[in-house]
Amino acid sequence: MSLRHHRRRGTAAAALVAALSLALSGCTSGPAAPSSDKQAAQAQPNTAGPAGFAWFRPGAAPAAWLRASLPGQHATLFYPNSLRPMPGDHGTVTVGRDSRAGAVLVYLNVTPRQGDETLRDWPGFRLAHLRYDGMTAVHLDGVSPSLHFRGGRGRCVIDNYTTKIHSNHYQEIACFVQGTHAASVLVAATSARTWRAYRPLLDQVVSSYQAG
């Protein structure tokens, strides 16, 4: 992936958010996307309710959505057809969409469990990993209890961080999901600036995830 695709977003990217978010969300419903740069800039990291995970309701994805499975696993990501496969490590699944200006609008990644992460230590593991990868200003916004995913159990964190390169500020829902046969990590992220706009879509992606 070229540097151009991940350079710091410009104002044009924010202006595209309103139009693109509706298209990206497909069959999702939720709050209206920001309609201007000002509104987008005012969007702050937010969680739904005190626990932050009241939105999680495991269930089938809309029929029109696409799916991508991890090699050799039952773990399956469902996503709207407005997103496209993106470069990623071998053996992983990455789909998403960038703005024309190179800003990340939606980023979804599924990776087989590679480390020693467990349901119990997932919150600490994820944040430590972000810091290990050079992220700064890593901030935990929410931690879920054990959640019933389709085909397994999982635990999620909502956090935000700033990248070492280009100082991009992202917010994510990152889940460790243990299925019957295998465990995997699901990341659903967007720019912190567009978090509110794409949150309904990310929530639905996480809720429809099929464990391996």
Q: State the residues that interact with other proteins by CB under 8 A.
A: 1-3, 5-8, 61, 63-72, 78, 81, 85-94, 104, 107, 109-117, 125, 128-130, 132-135, 161, 163-168, 170, 172, 174, 184-187, 189
Give whichever of 40 and 186 is closer to other proteins, judged by the CB atom.
186
DSSP output for 52-71: SBTT----PPPTT-EEEE-T
Alpha-carbon distance of 147 to 53, in angstroms, equals 9
173 closest CA partner among 151, 198, 152, 153: 198
- Phi and psi for 38 in degrees, rounded to 5? -60, -45
Give whichever of 3 and 49 is closer to other proteins, judged by the CB atom.
3
Distance of CA 73 to the CA centre of its chain: 20
Task: Write out the two tokens for 73.
Answer: 């696993």
Give whichever of 17 and 86 is closer to other proteins, judged by the CB atom.
86
Nearest distance in Å: CB 50, other proteins? 26
Nearest distance in Å: CB 2, other proteins? 8
Nearest distance in Å: CB 163, other proteins? 5
Give whichever of 48 and 138 is closer to other proteins, judged by the CB atom.
138
